[in-house]
Structure 1
Amino acid sequence: MTIPAICRLPSHRPMRSHLLPRPESVSGSGVTNPPGGHMATKDKPKTKTAAKPAAKAAPAKAAPAKAAAPKVNALLKPLTPSAELADLVGAAPLPRTAAVSKLWEHIKKNNLQDPKDKRQILADAKLKKIFGKDKVSMFEMNKHLAAHLK
């Protein structure tokens, strides 16, 4: 059997025959591959059992119970801001993501990012109460914010 140049390895040695795609029938042996390929399994006759219909009925009763109590995503859970944070985001409970968004609105509106390094936030009087420092990186901001959300 001659192997075309495309199928040769870079060292120009022929590929192993078990790695080559098998033809539909092996010449000389009279053996043919099954229709689904050489690894196809034979179809087994299906049998009916009485346990399967009973198992399907049980989950139908459990489905309404799951729908009644949906899981709340921890990031979307409303949290109550502290008095210092309430000056910026409001006193109503809000998700952590909304609190971060409102904090960024305040930072952008008042141009509180360091012009040389935009990752640094220069705290004004309101932000100084939350951060406790004059300058905070945007990555530290979430750490300080977490202390003010309960």
Structure 2
Amino acid sequence: MSATAIRSGELLAFPAALRRGAPVSAASFVSFRMRAAAAAGRVAVRVVAAAAEGAGADADAGGKPKPKKRAASGIMKPKPISPELREFVGGAEELPRTEALKIIWAHIKGNNLQDPANKKIIVCDDKLKKIFGGRDRVGFLEISGLLNPHFQK
């Protein structure tokens, strides 16, 4: 393709790797321009960022409005918890299931409670035994199931 066939400011069809670059902010757009290098005869690419006209702060790069944030639902919604779990997490009356799992895993990692021979097994200390029904060892896939009785529906 010769450089003379390309008009200044024309959006070019680049390979997918160049088109899928880093996302551009809502207030600007990127246009690619090609120009012929002076004596070398090779083609150089220049990226120019310019402010998009008419793009508001609540619009994305395509000019569409941003979606509104939804209220938490499912496992992200805070729910009342049992007294045993409340004592473990530090007194919170309501907690999302995801936060409870984060706190439990932080306790497991902080106290090195994973079995050294099999990291999938958790060796419970006294605090974990209270919320896991007195079990000494728990598989890491069982943790979320053992939390079910601690969350009210």
TM-score under structure 1 normalisation? 0.51
- Superposed CA RMSD: 1.5
Distance 1:125 1:135 in 2: 12
Q: Which residue of 1 aligns with 2:115?
A: 114
1:36-75 mapped onto 2 (5 Å cutoff): 72-75=72-75
Asked if 2 retains the 8 angstrom alpha-carbon contact of 1:130 and 1:145, the reply is yes
Moved over 4 A (4+): none
Gaps of 5+ in 1: 1-66
- Percent identity over the alignment? 46
Aligned residues: 82
State the shift of 1:127 in Å: 0.6
Structure 1: distance between partners of 2:127 and 2:146: 13
Residue 147, structure 1, aligned to residue 149, structure 2: yes
Mapped to 1, the partners of 2:71 and 2:112 lie a distance apart of 39
Aligned to 1:126: 127
CA contact (8 A) 1:84 1:126 kept: no
Contact 1:112 1:121 in 2 (8 A): yes
2:140 corresponds in structure 1 to 138
More helix by share: 1
What displacement does 1:116 show?
Answer: 0.7
Moved more, 81-90 or 114-123: 81-90
Whose Rg is larger?
A: 1
Cα distance in 2, alignment partners of residues 72 and 124 from structure 1: 32
Alignment of 1:69-88 (within 5 A): 72-88=72-88
Q: In 1, distance between residues paired with 2:71 and 2:107?
A: 32
| Per-residue CA distance 1:34-56 (angstroms, 9 max, x = gap) | xxxxxxxxxxxxxxxxxxxxxxx
